[in-house]
Structure 1
Amino acid sequence: MTEHPDATLQRLNTEVLEPCGWQPFGGMFDMIEEWPASVPTKRGVYVFLISRDEPIAYPVGESSIVYFGKAAQQRGVRGRVSQHRGTILRGPSDRWPGHAAHEWLMARGGVCVYSLAPDHDPFGSQGMEHELIKAFQRLHRTRPVGNGTAA
């Protein structure tokens, strides 16, 4: 996917991922309604976006981005996103609040997009996740709601 209605995601594609040799975010699927067999088991990063037309108002601007994550383990993007999806499908708990990203996606629905790490990756998935959060923070003056707050 090279086009997405979220302007922040487009900027992150061109300003963060592509200069480091990563592919633009792609492979979009609905976190609740779909589980494509094509979700890869390779290392990478992923983003959760709310799927409704009402973006989140951040201190500067707005975006549909809720959360950035990294997939550095053996099952890669498929394994990590599968863990998140299971929690979201179980629904909210009366006992304790869940992960902020899960709560947003349960309330508003959401999609996932991902980018796989290139073979010559200088950052690793953790480093790329960090770079994406920093770039988001520069644009919106805060982290995405699912990645906590910046002090």
Structure 2
Amino acid sequence: MIKLPDATLHRLNTEVLEAGGWLPFGGMFDMIEEWPASLPTKIGVYVFLIGGNEPITYPVGESSIVYFGKAEQQRGVRGRVSQHRGTIMRGSRGRWPGHAAHEWLMARGGFCMYSLAPDHDPFTSAWVERELIHAFQRLHRTRPVGNGTAA
């Protein structure tokens, strides 16, 4: 289990979330072993971190971050993360690989954290997701493996 959130995550909390008036990522739970009853149905963004003791080696540095996502639908963070979790819990499908973030989480386990949109500006989760990915890319010279590669 990850004892402390990823160092990159600390930096993104400050540079993107807090700078935009959002709370830092919180509410960490195990994607396989837990399903928190209190997972909110509000709009927000979320991050998946792989489990284990070894982070992913990126072109510049390492990080446990595997994916950033946004939750804008009716059931918010709870609904969107639930969709991902269902796919992960069902496992891989035959010889075809699935979503890269799901494959990493199926192989190594992992965690989810989320940040809810401020009440005064709930429609910016797509912008915040893009900014998180861009900031990650500036730090590691690529996007998180689950968000595709930067060609």
Q: TM-score when scaled to structure 2?
A: 0.95
Aligned to 1:114: 114
Aligned to 1:52: 52
**Secondary structure at the counterpart of residue 118 of structure 2:** coil
Shift of 1:122: 7.8
Shift of 1:129: 0.2
- Cα distance in 2 for partners of 1:5, 1:69 equals 17
- Cα distance in 2 for partners of 1:78, 1:122 equals 16
**Secondary structure at the counterpart of residue 138 of structure 2:** helix
Shift of 1:58: 0.2
- Cα distance in 2 for partners of 1:93, 1:59 equals 30
2:64 is aligned with 1:78: no
> For residues 97-120 of structure 1, what are the alpha-carbon distances to aligned partners after superposition, in whole Å with 9 as ceiling and x for unaligned?
100000000001000000000022
Shift of 1:123: 6.3
Identity of matched residues, %: 83
2:136 is aligned with 1:132: no
- Cα distance in 2 for partners of 1:115, 1:97 equals 29
The answer to whether the Cα contact below 8 Å between 2:43 and 2:122 also exists between their aligned partners in 1 is no
Shift of 1:57: 0.2
Structure 1 residue runs of 5 or longer lacking an equivalent are: none
Residue identity matched to 1:134: H
> For residues 17-61 of structure 1, what are the alpha-carbon distances to aligned partners after superposition, in whole Å with 9 as ceiling and x for unaligned?
001110000000000000000100000000000011100000000
The answer to whether the Cα contact below 8 Å between 1:45 and 1:77 also exists between their aligned partners in 2 is yes
Aligned to 1:101: 101
Aligned positions, number: 149
Structure 2 residue runs of 5 or longer lacking an equivalent are: none
- Cα distance in 1 for partners of 2:9, 2:121 equals 20
Residue identity matched to 2:100: A
Residue identity matched to 2:82: S
Aligned to 1:143: 143
The answer to whether the Cα contact below 8 Å between 2:117 and 2:124 also exists between their aligned partners in 1 is yes
Runs of 4+ in 1 over 2 A off after TM superposition: 120-123
Shift of 1:4: 3.5
Say what the alpha-carbon RMSD is for the aligned residues.
1.3
2:36 is aligned with 1:39: no
Residue identity matched to 1:147: N
